[in-house]
Amino acid sequence: MSILNLLNPSKDNLQSNLYLGSFLVGISLLDVFLNSFLKLNITSFLPSIISILLPFFLGMFGLHLMRIEFSGIKNLDRLNKNINTNNFNAALTLLIIFLIIKAIPPVISWMILDANISGDSKDACTGSGACWTYIKVWFKRFMYGMYPNEQIWRVNLAFIFLVVLAFVGFITPQKYRNLLTLYYVVIYPIIAFILIYYLISGGEFGLEWVETGAWGGLSLTFIVSFFSLIFCFPLGMALALGRRTELPIIKYVSVGFIEFWRGVPLITVLFMSSVMFPMFLPEDFFMDKLVRVIIAISLFEAAYVAEVIRGGLQALPRGQYDAAKSLGMGYWKMHIFVILPQALKLVIPGMANTFLALVKDTPLIFVVGLAELAGMLQMAKTNPKWLGYAMEGYVFAAIIFWIICYAMSKYSYNLELKYKTDR
């Protein structure tokens, strides 16, 4: 009778089932834990295959015993509802927990316990873990490329200015609020260009000239994505409006432009900008490679931005257009004051995704010889003094990019909530 009760857990023998179940689950977790963290196998007296599978079956049986509906114990009910609804879910739960326990020790020991960070040459890396010394030594290169060390303050200063100027929107008095769009679309890019041209590039005001070939690292990623972002947005907006007009020539030019750029991979666009585009320019006309790349990326992303904005324009109800027209507004007035503010609000998530894609696409400029972060990693990896630390470099870059992109996506999510208007 008691055996039968054990196999069919019910509320009647809640206590015994609960104790036995949690005991079994505890044993199984302990076994995996000891195995993974302390390299102890407490079931080594069993044949190996049973020894490996034992914690899983113990855990399964334990969870089975604990699966009692409406037990009245709040935590147990929550546990059953969330991770232990049936045998299949229990199995997956156990596998995930085991996997996490198994994965933690090697990751932690590689990243922290066995890792080295002291010293400034390869000899300092004696542990079996990661060699963070490599990152430490190369840090300036990863951030600023081949930019001269004593001039790095110029890059920092330029970025600080840009960030501060970007926050102007938050402190403007109410009176000048309506000038903000003008500021962000026209004035800010011009200031940014001047700042980067005179401060980072130099050549005037007693600042040493640094050619764009020496720019690199994460700061180049920022410069390229920043300018492409600024240029692609107005262009994309114009294309979206162009695609929606009734004027056939403008419409088909826009459609052709959008479909062309959306149909080709960015890498071929970059190839085009670096090998084919110079052929299209007058012979004595020199355009810097970085400028060409920024133009290429802007044109490419503008097509995607256009499609996103078009989605927003299409999603607006016809009534908005009709109402604006009935008030006697012309095309531009209608779009600037009625249509675009609403449409742009609708497309915030799509825009954020496009900008995220832009930031994630910038490492590609490495194929035309501009060494931003990924490119610098390639360079550092093949440096004869530092062979064999590819993994550390990629983990470092992945963490940086992940933080940037994750922050952007979370920010856009908040923006979306903030501007959400109920209809």
Partner 1 sequence: MKLKKILPQLATLFVVILIFGFFTMNAQLNMENRGIDFGYGFLTQESSFDVQFSLIEYSGSDSYGRAYLVGLLNTLLVSVLGIIICTIIGVIIGIARLSPNYLIRTTAAWYVEFFRNIPLLLQIFFWYYAALRALPLPQDAEAIFGSSYLTIKGFYTPSLIWKNLDIFIYSVIAAIIAIIFVRIHAKRLRENEGKHLPVLNISIAILFILPILTFFFGGVNVGYETPELKQLAKTSFKFEGGLSIPPELLSLVIALSLYTATFVAECVRAGIQGVSKGQREAAASIGLNRKQVLNLIIMPQALRIIIPPTTNQYLNLTKNSSLAAAIAYPDLVLVFAGTALMQTGKAIEIVSITMLTYLTLSLSISFFMNWYNAKIAIVEK
Chain positions contacting partner 1, by CB under 8 A: 81-83, 85, 89, 92-93, 96-97, 247-250, 253, 259-260, 262-268, 271-272, 275-276, 279-283, 356, 359-364, 366-367, 374, 377-378, 381, 390-391, 394-395, 397-398, 401-402, 405-406, 409
CB of 278 to partner 1, least distance (A): 8
Nearer to partner 1, 164 or 279 (CB): 279
Q: Which residues does 296 contact at the CB level (< 8 Å), separation at least 6? A: 269, 270, 272, 273, 277
Nearer to partner 1, 265 or 317 (CB): 265
CA angle 262, 267, 273 (to 5 degrees): 90
Nearer to partner 1, 173 or 248 (CB): 248
CB of 155 to partner 1, least distance (A): 22
CB of 252 to partner 1, least distance (A): 10
CB of 383 to partner 1, least distance (A): 14
CB of 163 to partner 1, least distance (A): 22
Nearer to partner 1, 32 or 397 (CB): 397
Nearer to partner 1, 229 or 377 (CB): 377
CB of 271 to partner 1, least distance (A): 5
CB of 269 to partner 1, least distance (A): 8
Nearer to partner 1, 45 or 280 (CB): 280
Nearer to partner 1, 183 or 271 (CB): 271
